[in-house]
Structure 1
Amino acid sequence: MKEVKIESTLYVFESLSDTPEDIQKLMKAAIEVRDKAYAPYSRFHVGAALLLDNGNVISGSNQENASYPSGLCAERTAIFYAGAQYPKAKVLKMAITAASQNQKTNNPIPPCGACRQSIAEYEFKQEQPIEIYFMGETGSVMKSSSLSNLLPFSFDASNL
């Protein structure tokens, strides 16, 4: 038996105002769409905004349903829409923000496992990493240079 050590490098900005201007704009788009989330059950609102290589910004919010598995997270809403509307475009950057109506979210909120797997599919397809920035309602912003930092053992087409 041998030991395998996995390390991830993430970067932390103390606040949104400390991020580059293009990230501030992208995160503001995510905040705007977060406020439009349909989350009457969890009361947890998430917004995601993507910057595509064609210059378009695509955004999405979480959409819940009384039959919980029928809903969709903000990250997948945005990335699936981008894939449907701009199938040849590459996703360069993704901004994610979350706010709870039950408590303050001051810490960065990363994408869930299902969203990580979906983002991994697009990274694999475009053969280029996607920078991911995530935050709570306020507080620091975390940056991952690629999804592999958040999901080191992703399942992709090369496994089939």
Structure 2
Amino acid sequence: MEERKITTSIQIFENIEELPPQVKFLMKEAQAIRDQAYAPYSKFKVGAAIQLEDDIIVTGSNQENAAYPSGLCAERTAIFYAGSQYPNKKVKAMAICVKSSSKVVTKPIAPCGACRQAIAEYEVKQDQPIEIYFMGEEGKIIKAKALLDLLPLAFDASFL
């Protein structure tokens, strides 16, 4: 038997003001679209903003549905839109933020497993890392240098 250790490295910013200007702008775009989310059931709004290689910004918010699980997370809404509208452009970075109507979220909230898998597909396809920044409603922001840092041993087309 062989045992291997998997590690990852993240960066933590104390608040949005500490982010580099372009990332700060991206997070503000995520916050703006977050407030347009359709989340009448969970009351948990999520916004995602994607920066493409030519600095085009694509956004998405979570869209719930009474017929669970027919809704879609903000991250997948944004990444699928980018893939359909800009199929040959690489994704440089993604910013994600949340807001709950029941409490102020001060801890960074990472993408769910389904979103990680969807984003990983694009990272593998473009053979270039996608920086992921995520936060709550306020407070610290976590940066992962690549989605695959959040989803080691990801499933991809090479297994098919």
- TM bin, normalised by shorter chain, reads over 0.9
Distance 1:83 1:46 in 2: 20
Q: CA offsets per residue over residues 68-105 of structure 1, 9 Å max, x none?
A: 21000000000000000000000000000011111111
Structure 1 residue 39 displacement after superposition: 0.2
Structure 1 residue 63 displacement after superposition: 0.1
Distance 1:137 1:17 in 2: 14
Distance 2:104 2:29 in 1: 20
Distance 1:104 1:67 in 2: 27
RMSD: 0.6
Secondary structure of the equivalent of 1:99? strand
Aligned partner of 1:139: which letter? G
1:37-116, aligned counterparts within 5 Å?
Answer: 37-116=37-116
Structure 1 residue 14 displacement after superposition: 0.4
Distance 2:148 2:71 in 1: 25
Distance 2:29 2:39 in 1: 18
Structure 1 residue runs without a partner (length 5+): none
Structure 2 residue runs without a partner (length 5+): none
Secondary structure of the equivalent of 1:103? coil
Alignment match, 1:124:
124
Moved runs in structure 1, 4+ residues, more than 3 A?
A: none
Secondary structure of the equivalent of 1:69? coil
Secondary structure of the equivalent of 1:119? helix
Aligned residue pair count: 160
